[in-house]
């Protein structure tokens, strides 16, 4: 790579093996530091701190059959909270919802529904409001905390579940 980047021919590389090796080692260390600095650490440097998924209830708990349609499940969930879905992101294995009080845009809370295990989770944050969100804040948090990936594969939630015995 160094030879190609600096246009040094193969003979020069062989003659300057030590120089090239040292330069390459320095580049690897710098690259390693850059990766460590830019690596996404769970729950670090995020605007609302650590994320938790708190299991609320199953679809059976609210009187639904396992074969109930997704629309019916979400409608029943929203009826429990007398709310509406200000945002709805549907994935094959999970659904993200921003549940809000009608006519109160800054009243939203994020929920994740695991379609395979039929469990609703409340998404909470250690440092910041998690029950007075606007649709714009929801959009920002979905990207920042990679919530679409978590909805796409809810089985990966276990390290973030606050009471894993309930789930």
pLDDT digits (tens, 9 = 90+) for 116-166: 999 999 999 999 889 999 999 999 999 999 999 999 999 888 888 876 555
90 and 13 part of one domain:
no
Structure-token match 């905390």, residue found: 145
In this predicted model, what pLDDT tens digit does every residue of 28-61 receive, in sequence order? 334 333 433 443 444 446 899 999 999 999 999 9
- CA proximity to 155, closest of 105, 108, 124, 119: 119
- CA proximity to 1, closest of 33, 24, 25: 24
10 and 55 part of one domain:
no
29 and 97 part of one domain:
no
33 and 57 part of one domain:
no
Contact by Cβ (8 Å): 77, 86: no
72 within a domain of the structure (yes/no): yes
* pTM for this entry: 0.71
128 within a domain of the structure (yes/no): yes
30 within a domain of the structure (yes/no): yes
Domain span at residue 97? 51-160
Q: Return the structure tokens found at 21.
A: 């090796």
166 within a domain of the structure (yes/no): no
125 and 93 part of one domain:
yes
| Residue 105: pLDDT over 50 | yes
Label residue 57 exposed, middle or buried (CB < 10 Å: 0-12, 13-18, 19+): middle
Phi (first) and psi of residue 26, to 5 degrees? -60, -45
15 and 67 part of one domain:
no
Question: Running DSSP on this structure, what letter comes out for residue 88?
Answer: E
Cβ atoms within 10 Å of 74's Cβ, excluding its own: 20
60 and 81 part of one domain:
yes
Instruction: Report the domain count for the chain.
Output: 2
């Amino acid at each position: 790579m160094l030879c190609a980047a600096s246009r040094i021919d193969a003979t020069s590389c062989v003659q300057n093996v030590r120089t090239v090796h040292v330069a390459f080692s320095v580049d690897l260390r710098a690259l390693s530091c850059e990766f460590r600095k830019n690596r996404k650490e769970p729950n670090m440097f995020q605007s609302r701190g650590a994320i938790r998924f708190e299991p609320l209830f199953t679809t059976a708990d609210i009187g639904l059959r396992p074969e109930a349609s997704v629309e019916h499940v979400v409608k029943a969930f929203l009826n429990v909270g007398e709310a509406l879905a200000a945002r709805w992101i549907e994935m094959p294995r999970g659904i993200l919802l921003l549940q809000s009080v009608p006519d109160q845009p800054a009243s939203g809370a994020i929920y994740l529904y695991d379609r395979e295990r039929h469990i609703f989770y409340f998404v909470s944050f250690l440092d910041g409001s998690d029950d007075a969100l606007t649709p714009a804040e929801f959009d920002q948090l979905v990207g920042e905390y990679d919530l679409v990936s978590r909805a796409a594969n809810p089985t990966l939630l276990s390290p973030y579940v606050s009471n894993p015995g309930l789930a």
